[in-house]
Amino acid sequence: MMTKTLLAGLVGLAVAGCTNPPTPTVTSASGSSTSTAGATASATPAATSTRVAEYRLEVYLAGKKVGDLSFSDLTALPQKGMPGVPGEQGPTLLSVLARAQVQDFTSVQVSGFARGRTGPASLTLTKAEVKDTVIIGLTQQGTAKLASAEMPKERWIIDVQRIDVQGNVATSAPTGSIEVLVAGARKAALTIQDLEKLPTATFGADEGPTLPSVLKLAGVGAFTRVKLVGLNIGRQGPAEVTLTSDKVTDRVILDFTRQGTVKLSSQDVPRAQWILDISRIEVD
């Protein structure tokens, strides 16, 4: 009889061990209880800081806005990677400045956020420090950051919003204007509206006033050579070309562009030497 009772007790313990344990409850601070039965862990992905369509990078020269670039504008510029830092790439800071038609400067202040986005931050670089190794790196969040393999990551600026440039305003003409210098002295400042009043010539699909007519409008007399200053093909950076007086003919035109600027166009000048977004003409 004792043997049967012992076996019945062992069987009962085994059956109890196979049943589900009671569902635990979690008591909140308010005292209410919530069952966790069937609950599964879930994670909500972090939202991006700024959407691609909303991101803007503004460039200011001596306090005046000279550039307003979207994420698409930055991706359209030539991209450069960082040696030893896989995945980091974007346009160089120099090409971004050139895109805003900044031709000369003494220092640049880049403003955005500190690493980790812990708060606002800015970094000032001298002209000597703005090398082609300093890039405006494009991020997966649809923003851009200042980065360089030659710079400690603690100095990098995240989500760059503004670039303030200090420099020679006279040699960094605003978009759509052309400064004419004779022997280093300002002779005239011509707007696109001024040029549109001149007779035009054509070369292929390009059309605009001839260079001799532009010089005449600026009051330029005899000269030996003319230097055109602007951006190179692709707008990768500053560029210039010098033409002797015998090359300045009616076959050299300043073509009106969609950007509201003019470019050098001529069958007598190799296309690789054409100057885009001309901002200055120097005459000697």
Q: Kindly state the average pLDDT of the residues 201-206.
A: 94
pLDDT tens column, 71-110: 998 998 889 998 887 889 999 999 999 888 787 789 999 9
Backbone region of residue 129 per phi and psi (left: phi > 0; alpha: psi in -120 to 50; beta: other values): alpha
Determine how β-strand 177-182 pairs with β-strand 185-191: antiparallel
pLDDT tens column, 131-166: 999 999 999 999 999 999 999 999 999 999 999 998
Q: How far apart are CA 181 and CA 284, in angstroms?
A: 9
Contact 111, 160 (CB under 8 A): yes
The answer, yes or no, to whether residue 8 has pLDDT greater than 60, is: no
Question: Is the pLDDT higher at 36 or at 247?
Answer: 247
* 150-170 per-residue burial string, b: 16 or more CB within 10 A, e: under 16: eeeeeebbbbbbebbbbbebe
The answer, yes or no, to whether residue 280 has pLDDT greater than 60, is: yes
Residue 15, amino acid: V
Give me the domains of the chain, ranges plus CATH numbers: 52-169 (3.90.420.10), 173-283 (3.90.420.10)
**215 token code pair:** 């010089």
Residue 91's nearest CA partner among 103, 81, 83 is 81
Instruction: Look at residue 51 in the predicted model and tell me its pLDDT.
Output: 53
Instruction: Look at residue 27 in the predicted model and tell me its pLDDT.
Output: 32
CB-neighbour burial class of residue 276 (10 A; exposed 0-12, middle 13-18, buried 19+): buried
The pLDDT mean for the chain works out to 80
Chain centroid to Cα 268, Å, comes to 34
The dihedral built from the CA positions of residue 156, 162, 166 and 170, taken in this order, carries a sign that is positive
Instruction: Look at residue 250 in the predicted model and tell me its pLDDT.
Output: 97
